[in-house]
Chains A and B, each alone.
Chain A
Amino acid sequence: MTIQQQIIISGVGGQGVLFVTRLLAEAAMMKGFPVLTSETHGMAQRGGTVVSHLKVGDFSSPLIRPFSADGLLAFKSESLAQHGGFVKSGGWAVVNSGGPLQSTGELKVESVDADAIAGNIGNLKSVNLIMLGASLSRLSGDCGLFCTLTDILTVLKMQISGAPAKLESFTAAIHAGYKV
C-alpha cells in the first residue's frame, strides 16, 4: 500500500507537540512507510508557538507547503487560525477548544475540549495525548489517519517500556480522547 499524508501538529512550548509527532512518526515507520518530520526546538519551546510537520510517504522535503497538508492537529484553539492555512481544501482539523468552532474555508473541523477532559482524568498535562486519541477516533474515510489506535498503543509501549506508571497514565489519556 502506498500512502502520502502530510500533517501539521501545533501548540505551544511545553504541551508535548514533539512527543505526539514522534509517536506518529514511529507508528509510520512501524507500518513500513518512509517518514520525515520537521520540529521546533530551542527558544520557541519556552512557551512560544511550536509547530511540527509530519510527512508520511515518498517525500524529500521535511516541510509542508501552504494548502498542502491533509490535516491539522491543534493543541490550542488559536492554532486553527494560525496554521489552518497549511491545510488543503477538503482537509481536516482536530482542534482543542472549549466550544464549537467556525469551520474556516473548506476544512472539516472537529473540536475536542481536551482541557476539560484532562481536568476530568486528573492529568492536566495530557492534552496532547487526548488530542491524539480524539483524532484517531474522529477521522475516518478519506480523512482517516495512516495509523490506528492499536498502532499508537504499540508504539507507546515500545517507547516507554521502562516506566509502567507513565505508560498507564499515557494510555489512559489516549483512551480518554478516543472515547469522546
Chain B
Amino acid sequence: MNDRILMLGNQAISRGLIENGCAVATSYPGTPASEILPSLVEWRLAENTRLHAQWAVNEKVAFEIAYTAAMTGLRSMVSMKQVGLNVASDPLMSAAYMGTVGGFLVVCADDPGPHSSQTEQDSRMMAMMAKIPVLDPDSPAQAKDMIAMGYALSEAFEIPVMIRPTTRVCHARQDVAVSPIVADTRQPKFEKNPARWAATPKFRFRLHQSLEQKLSAISNHAATAPQRCNPGADESRQAIVVSGVAAAHTRDVMKDLGLWDHVPLYQVLQPFPLHREFITHLDTAYSQILVIEESAGIIELQIADRRKVLGKVSGTVPSVGEILPETIEAIVAKFAGKSVSPPDLPLTAPGRHPTLCAGCPHRASFFAIKKAAPRGIYTSDIGCYTLGLNLGAVDTFICMGAAISQAAGFYQAFRHEARRPDIVATLGDSTFFHAGIPALIDAVVQNVRFVLVILDNRTTAMTGNQPTPACGRGIGGEPTITVAIEKLVQGCGVAFCETGDPYDVPAFISLVKSAVAYSRETGPAVVIARRPCLLDRSQVESRHPFIRVHVVEKDCDACHYCIQHFECPALITDGKDKPVRVNPAACTGCGVCLHVCPKKAIVITEKV
C-alpha cells in the first residue's frame, strides 16, 4: 500500500476510524458529513474487517445504536451534519452523564457559510451544553489524527467525544499518510448496572457530579493540550489563538505577512473544555489575545480576563458567515499593526443558483401541484425539492419533517376563515421516514385538511443517493428488509392514499386535484409521487424510455412560460424575445415539457 493517499476530509475521518478499531458506525446523510460512512464501507471492503456500518432512519436512532454498542466496550461512531445533532440532542445529553465503556465518537460536521444548511450553528456549543470534550480539526490529515486522539480520550475518561470538522475540512482533499489497519478483536460485554445504564433522577445527580469531575480532569489532559505553532517566534505581549480551519488559514497568512517569527501563535485542538494551564498561561504572558475560530466564540468565552480578548464579542472577528483567509489576513494585519488592505474579491457577475436537474420528477410533481391548487399554501421540507422554491411551489421549509406540521399549523390558523386556502405539503421519501411519520399521525388525529405529496424517488438524492428504508438494500449493497411507504401512510390512519407517476402529467394532475378535493371536504390526503431519481445509478433499469422532443420555432411565441414556470435546464433561449430551444446535451427525454407549453410548441421528434 502507498504510504500517502489523496483523501477527502471525510475519507480521512473514515480511514482514522478503521485504523483505530471502530466496530459499529451509524449515520444519517447530510452535507457536509455524507461521505464519511460510504468511504468507511469502501475501506472495509478493501480490508475485510467485521465493522458494522449502516444508515439509520434519522440521527437520533443512529446515535442510540452507536452509543449503545460502545456501552459493551466496542469502539463506535455516529456521524451527522450539525442540524442532525439537533435531532440527536436528546440521547447526547444523557449519554454524557452515563458515559461510555468503549470509545464513542460523535462526528458532527458544521457548515459555516452556510453552504448547504439551514443554520451556521456551532456544534462545539452543543458539546459544551452536553458537557463533553470536542476536538476541532484544521485539515483532512488532522481530522484523521483526531480520531485516534478522540478514541483514547473517550476511553481514558469513559466519556463521549465530539469531533467537529467543518465544510472546509470535510470537503478539502489532501495527501494523507495512512497506517495499517489494526483488526478489532474486542469481545462485547454488557455489565448490568442500573445505577448507570437505567439511572433514575437520584442517580443522575451522581452521574452529573462524576461528569464534572471528568471534565475537570480533561481540562488538564496533556494529549489534547493546545500547541504552540511557532515556538521560535519572538517574545511578545500579543498572542493569536486559533482552532479548526481558521488555524490553517492563519498559518499561511502569518507567513505571508512576515509575522510568523514575531507573534506567538497557539492552536487549540480541544476547544472545550479549554485547558486550565493554557488559560493561566495566556493570562500571565500576554496583554492582548486575538482569538479566531468558527463560528461561535467558544474558546474566547473560556479565557479568564475578557479585557484582553479580541474576538467575536469585541466585534474583531465576524460571528456570521465563513471566516475566509482574506478576512483573517485583514484581522491579523490590523492586530499586529501592519497596514495592508487586502482587496475584496470583485464579484462582477452573479453566480448561478442551483435548480432541479433536467428530467427531475420533482419538477413534474410541482407543476401538477400548481395546476391542482393554484392559490394554495405550499409547505415543503429539506431535500432537493427545496429547489421547488424557484418554481413558486415552495412557500416554507424549516427542518426535517416540518412540511407536515407546518401544514397543520396553517390549517389550524385558517380553519375558521370563510375562505380556507388549500394546503399542499411536499417532502421526500427519506425525509418522510426520518421525521414525517409522527407529524402525519398528529395530522390524522386532528383531521388536518391538507394534501401531502410524498416525492418518492426511492433515494436520498440531495446528499448523494443514499438508500432509504424503502430501497431494500444497505450502504454496502447488502439486501435489507423493505418498508413500504403506502403501508406506513395507511398505518398512520390516512384514508386517502394514492400512488401516481409524475411523468404521466395529465393523470397525475387529476390525481392531485382529487386529493385536493378530498382534503377540502374530508381530511388529510396523501399522494405518493413515485419516479426514480435520474442521478441514482442503482435505479437505471427502471428509467423511462427516452422521448426526443423539439420546439417548433414558428409555434413558439417566446412567452417563456416554460422557462418561468417549469425551469428545466434543457429548455433554453437566447434572449427575452427569442424562441425557446431544447438543449440536447441537457435533455433527459422525460417528455414532461410536452404538457407544459401553453401553445403546444414542444413536440415529439419523430424518428427520420
Report which A residues bind B (CB closer than 8 A).
12-14, 21-22, 25-26, 29, 34-49, 59-63, 65-67, 78, 81-82, 84-86, 118, 124-125
Task: Tell me if B345 counts as interface (CB < 8 A to partner A).
Answer: yes
Residues in B whose Cβ lies below 8 Å from that of A66: 326, 342-346
Task: Tell me if B290 counts as interface (CB < 8 A to partner A).
Answer: no
| Chain B: CB-nearest residue to A51 | B351
Distance (whole angstroms) from the CB of B497 to the closest CB of chain A: 29
Q: Which of B531-546 contact A (CB under 8 A)?
A: none
| Chain A: CB-nearest residue to B463 | A42
Distance (whole angstroms) from the CB of A70 to the closest CB of chain B: 15
Contact B252 A25 (CB under 8 A): no
Residues in B whose Cβ lies below 8 Å from that of A62: 139, 168, 172, 174, 245, 248
Residues in A whose Cβ lies below 8 Å from that of B357: 14, 46-47
Contact B353 A48 (CB under 8 A): yes
Task: Tell me if B249 counts as interface (CB < 8 A to partner A).
Answer: yes
State whether A63 and B344 are in contact (beta carbons under 8 Å apart), knowing that A34-B175, A42-B462, A43-B462 are contacts in the complex: no
Contact A26 B6 (CB under 8 A): yes
Contact B249 A63 (CB under 8 A): yes
Task: Tell me if B474 counts as interface (CB < 8 A to partner A).
Answer: no
10 smallest beta-carbon distances between A and B, as pairs: A42-B116, A42-B31, A48-B354, A49-B351, A81-B349, A124-B585, A62-B172, A66-B345, A46-B354, A60-B248
Residues in B whose Cβ lies below 8 Å from that of A81: 348-349
Contact B139 A85 (CB under 8 A): no
Residues in B whose Cβ lies below 8 Å from that of A124: 584-585
Interchain CA distance A29-B171 in the complex, whole Å: 18
25 contacts between A and B (CB under 8 A): A26-B6, A34-B175, A36-B172, A37-B172, A40-B171, A41-B116, A41-B171, A43-B115, A46-B357, A60-B138, A60-B139, A60-B251, A60-B252, A61-B245, A61-B249, A63-B325, A65-B324, A65-B325, A66-B326, A66-B345, A66-B346, A67-B343, A82-B349, A85-B348, A124-B585
Main secondary structure of the interface of A (DSSP, over half): mixed
Task: Tell me if B352 counts as interface (CB < 8 A to partner A).
Answer: yes
Distance (whole angstroms) from the CB of A18 to the closest CB of chain B: 9
Distance (whole angstroms) from the CB of A20 to the closest CB of chain B: 13
State whether A25 and B173 are in contact (beta carbons under 8 Å apart), knowing that A38-B168, A62-B245 are contacts in the complex: yes
State whether A44 and B249 are in contact (beta carbons under 8 Å apart), knowing that A22-B173, A81-B348 are contacts in the complex: no
Interchain CA distance A82-B347 in the complex, whole Å: 6
Interchain CA distance A78-B347 in the complex, whole Å: 11
Distance (whole angstroms) from the CB of B481 to the closest CB of chain A: 30
Distance (whole angstroms) from the CB of A139 to the closest CB of chain B: 22
Contact A29 B32 (CB under 8 A): no
Residues in A whose Cβ lies below 8 Å from that of B342: 65-66
Distance (whole angstroms) from the CB of B76 to the closest CB of chain A: 25
Residues in A whose Cβ lies below 8 Å from that of B386: 43
Contact B352 A85 (CB under 8 A): no
State whether A46 and B356 are in contact (beta carbons under 8 Å apart), knowing that A39-B172, A40-B115, A65-B329 are contacts in the complex: yes
Contact B168 A46 (CB under 8 A): no
| Chain B: CB-nearest residue to A104 | B348
Task: Tell me if B355 counts as interface (CB < 8 A to partner A).
Answer: yes
Distance (whole angstroms) from the CB of A22 to the closest CB of chain B: 7
Interchain CA distance A86-B344 in the complex, whole Å: 10
**Which one of B168, B249, B347, B569 lies within 8 Å of A85 (CB-CB)?**
B347
Contact A61 B352 (CB under 8 A): no
Interchain CA distance A130-B428 in the complex, whole Å: 37
Residues in A whose Cβ lies below 8 Å from that of B584: 124
Task: Tell me if B57 counts as interface (CB < 8 A to partner A).
Answer: no
Distance (whole angstroms) from the CB of B546 to the closest CB of chain A: 15
Q: Which of B162-206 contact A (CB under 8 A)?
A: 168, 171-175
Interchain CA distance A22-B343 in the complex, whole Å: 29
Distance (whole angstroms) from the CB of B123 to the closest CB of chain A: 17
Residues in A whose Cβ lies below 8 Å from that of B31: 41-43
Interchain CA distance A82-B355 in the complex, whole Å: 19
Contact B249 A38 (CB under 8 A): no
Residues in B whose Cβ lies below 8 Å from that of A29: 4, 6, 175
Residues in B whose Cβ lies below 8 Å from that of A59: 252
Residues in A whose Cβ lies below 8 Å from that of B249: 60-61, 63
| Chain B: CB-nearest residue to A86 | B345
Contact A39 B171 (CB under 8 A): yes
A-contact bits for B377-401, CB 8 A (1 contact / 0 none): 0000000101100000000000000
